[in-house]
């Protein structure tokens, strides 16, 4: 796959197609996120058990992880636009069937496959666009471009996806909100398909065995480039710890310190708002001064391990201070930005197979949706909320250790040259 060339208007060094693609991502993910904060309690209120609700989200997470992997390798084979079309169509089909035959009929057997089908949608649409971004963006600002993507992604999913339902639920209700999500996704999908032009794809001239080889390239590259596999593990750690908090932490805060669910959601939204702002700052610092590897290792991995523990013990120190909780949340949102250069780093480790490398990163992002609730479910009954947070903090510290091995070839060459010069001297 080769980088597209040609005359095109730019904004801050980024092609305008990429910039508008960020807008499309935000709109698409806003639609995808409109039910995340309330669907589980709504289903339980309608008669489902907690176990059934957990199963629904586990199935969704497993399918999302598979789609996240294939988003990269299919983009290599077919180009981003075809994969984005598949993502848009499967999301719409899954959403309509989930509403009409799952929720309205309160039929759990239909909810499982239809919500699962919807889980194919956003990874195929958004992550294939992210692969395109890694090819279209100049390397000197690649981490910044990836940061803008994740700012758009989280801004849609967590910020618009939280505040829009809070305002609209009293006006249009739960089912009406889900139908409004169709409009959001359609608009974002159409904008994305318009701006992503000139597919950057490999020509598949081989037989079916060659195409199967391409599909498996995301895993074989882990053998060829072990650092890509490490990047995938760090990506799992990135989202698993932070993604686990809404599952159990609001109940912990309520039962122990009297914080309401609404207060947790306000803190959660504030945290992600801070994250979006610093998603535009931290990557610039990383590109210009700190470097990708050190940013991920110390700010992202080590910083998140520390901040999870700070968030845990803030109520013990400051009691029911909502201000203190928010300050801890804001700081956590900031250090979380340290993971933004990971996609750029992994893609740069395999410059001729960026799509395959990004498949592993995307697969890691998807797997976190499955692993986070699994860890909580396995351990919260044994060691409680505090113990679970210590587990996730430990995974972040593990990620910091793994990042020692994630230097770019150019950085290792420079280090070797310095060593040789010392020996020569």
**Coil/strand/helix, residue 10:** strand
Q: What is the mean pLDDT of residues 250-262?
A: 84
Q: What is the mean pLDDT of residues 63-80?
A: 84
Q: Are 343 and 126 in contact (CB under 8 A)?
A: no
Q: How far is CA 238 from CA 49, 55, 337, 417, 424, in A?
A: 30, 23, 10, 33, 42
- How far apart are the C-alpha atoms of 36 and 119, rounded to whole Å? 12
Q: Are 376 and 388 in contact (CB under 8 A)?
A: yes
Residue 8's pLDDT band, with cuts at 50, 70 and 90, is low
Q: Which residues have C-beta within 8 Å of that of residue 363, sequence separation ≥ 6?
A: 65, 68, 69, 72, 218, 232
Residue 387's pLDDT band, with cuts at 50, 70 and 90, is very high
Of 9-18, 102-111, 190-199, 202-211, the one with minimum mean pLDDT is 202-211
Torsion angle in degrees (nearest 10) through CA of 208, 211, 215, 216: 80
- Tokens, residue 139: 């390397």
Q: Which residues have C-beta within 8 Å of that of residue 202, sequence separation ≥ 6?
A: 1, 76, 77, 214
Reported as a single tens digit per residue, the pLDDT across 279-298 is 878 877 887 777 889 999 99
Residue 264's pLDDT band, with cuts at 50, 70 and 90, is confident
Whether the predicted pLDDT of 5 surpasses 50: no
- Tokens, residue 371: 């692993």
Whether the predicted pLDDT of 140 surpasses 90: no
Q: Does 217-425 match 11-197 at the fold level?
A: yes
Q: Which residues have C-beta within 8 Å of that of residue 49, sequence separation ≥ 6?
A: none
Q: Give residue 413's pLDDT.
A: 53
pTM given for the model: 0.75
Whether the predicted pLDDT of 416 surpasses 50: no
Q: Which of 112, 115, 277, 85 is nearest to 186 (CA)?
A: 85
Q: Give residue 4's pLDDT.
A: 42
**Coil/strand/helix, residue 14:** strand
Residue 210's pLDDT band, with cuts at 50, 70 and 90, is low
Percent of the chain residues past pLDDT 70, beyond the cut: 88
Q: Which of 217, 316, 331, 356 is nearest to 267 (CA)?
A: 331
Q: Give residue 419's pLDDT.
A: 38
Assign 3-state DSSP to the chain and report helix, strand, coil percentages, each to 5.
Answer: 85, 0, 15
CATH number (1.10.260.40, 1.20.1250.20, 3.30.1600.10, 1.10.10.10) of 11-197 reads: 1.20.1250.20
- Tokens, residue 325: 């909780």
What's the CA angle centered on 249, arms 243 and 250, to 5 degrees?
115
- How far apart are the C-alpha atoms of 231 and 212, rounded to whole Å? 24
What is the 3-state secondary structure of 317-362?
A: HHCCCHHHHHHHHHHHHHHHHHHCCHHHHHHHHCCCCHHHHHHHHH
Whether the predicted pLDDT of 424 surpasses 70: no
For tokens 């971004």, what's the residue?
Answer: 133
Q: What is the mean pLDDT of residues 392-419?
A: 76
Phi and psi based region of residue 6 (left: phi greater than 0; alpha: psi -120 to 50; beta: remaining): left
Q: What is the mean pLDDT of residues 24-31?
A: 96
- How far apart are the C-alpha atoms of 253 and 185, rounded to whole Å? 34
Q: How far is CA 59 from CA 86, 90, 158, 273, 274, in A?
A: 20, 16, 21, 29, 31
Q: Which of 132, 173, 157 is nearest to 64 (CA)?
A: 157
User: Structural domain boundaries of the chain?
Assistant: 11-197, 217-425
Residue 246's pLDDT band, with cuts at 50, 70 and 90, is confident
Q: What is the mean pLDDT of residues 169-178?
A: 89
- Tokens, residue 292: 């990708």
Q: Are strands 10-11 and 14-15 parallel, antiparallel or unpaired?
A: antiparallel
Q: What is the mean pLDDT of residues 323-327?
A: 96
Return the top range by mean pLDDT from 23-37, 93-107, 340-354, 395-409. Answer: 93-107
Q: What is the mean pLDDT of residues 108-118?
A: 95
Average pLDDT of every residue of the chain: 84
| CATH class in words for 217-425 | mainly alpha
Whether the predicted pLDDT of 206 surpasses 60: no
Q: Are 246 and 40 in contact (CB under 8 A)?
A: no
Reported as a single tens digit per residue, the pLDDT across 350-362 is 877 777 787 788 8
Q: Which of 256, 266, 247, 368 is nearest to 312 (CA)?
A: 256
Q: Which of 297, 292, 249, 252 is nearest to 271 (CA)?
A: 249
Q: Which of 126, 134, 138 is nearest to 350 (CA)?
A: 134
């Amino acid at each position: 796959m080769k980088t597209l060339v040609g005359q095109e208007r730019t904004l801050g060094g980024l092609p305008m197609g990429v910039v508008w693609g960020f807008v499309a991502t935000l709109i698409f993910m806003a639609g995808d996120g409109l039910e995340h904060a309330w669907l589980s309690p709504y289903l339980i209120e309608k008669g489902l058990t907690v176990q059934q609700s957990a199963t629904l989200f586990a199935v969704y997470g497993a399918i999302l992880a598979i789609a996240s992997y294939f988003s990269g390798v299919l983009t290599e084979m077919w180009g981003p636009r075809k994969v984005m079309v598949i993502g848009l169509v499967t999301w719409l089909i899954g959403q309509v069937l989930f509403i009409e035959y799952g929720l309205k009929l309160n039929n759990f057997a239909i909810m499982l496959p239809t919500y699962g089908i919807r889980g194919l949608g956003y990874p195929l649409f958004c992550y294939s666009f992210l692969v395109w971004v890694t090819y279209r963006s100049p390397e000197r600002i690649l981490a910044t471009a990836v940061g803008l993507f994740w700012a758009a992604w989280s801004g849609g999913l967590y910020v618009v996806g939280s505040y829009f339902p809070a305002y609209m639920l009293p006006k249009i209700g739960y089912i009406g909100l889900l139908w409004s999500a169709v409009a959001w996704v359609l608009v974002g999908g159409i904008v994305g398909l318009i701006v992503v032009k000139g597919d950057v794809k490999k020509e598949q001239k081989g037989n079916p065995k060659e195409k199967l080889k391409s599909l498996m390239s995301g895993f074989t590259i882990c053998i060829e480039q072990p650092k890509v596999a490490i990047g995938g593990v760090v990506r799992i750690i990135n989202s698993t710890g932070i993604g686990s908090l809404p599952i159990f932490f609001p109940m912990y805060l309520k039962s122990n310190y009297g914080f309401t669910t609404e207060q947790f959601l306000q803190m959660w939204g504030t945290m992600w708002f801070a994250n979006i702002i610093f998603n535009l700052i931290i990557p610039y610092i990383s590109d210009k001064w700190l470097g990708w590897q050190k940013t991920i290792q110390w700010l992202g991995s080590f910083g998140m391990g520390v901040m999870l523990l700070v968030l845990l013990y803030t109520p013990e120190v400051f009691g029911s201070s909502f201000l203190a909780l928010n300050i801890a949340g804001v700081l956590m949102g900031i250090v979380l930005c340290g993971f933004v250069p990971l996609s750029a780093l992994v893609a740069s480790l395999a410059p001729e197979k960026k799509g395959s490398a990004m498949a592993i990163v995307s697969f890691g992002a998807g797997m976190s949706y499955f692993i986070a609730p699994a860890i909580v479910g396995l351990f919260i009954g044994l060691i409680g909320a505090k113990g679970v947070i210590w587990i996730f903090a430990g995974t972040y510290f593990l990620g910091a250790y793994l990042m020692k091995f994630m230097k770019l070839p150019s950085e290792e060459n420079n280090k070797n040259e310095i060593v040789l010069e010392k020996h020569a001297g």
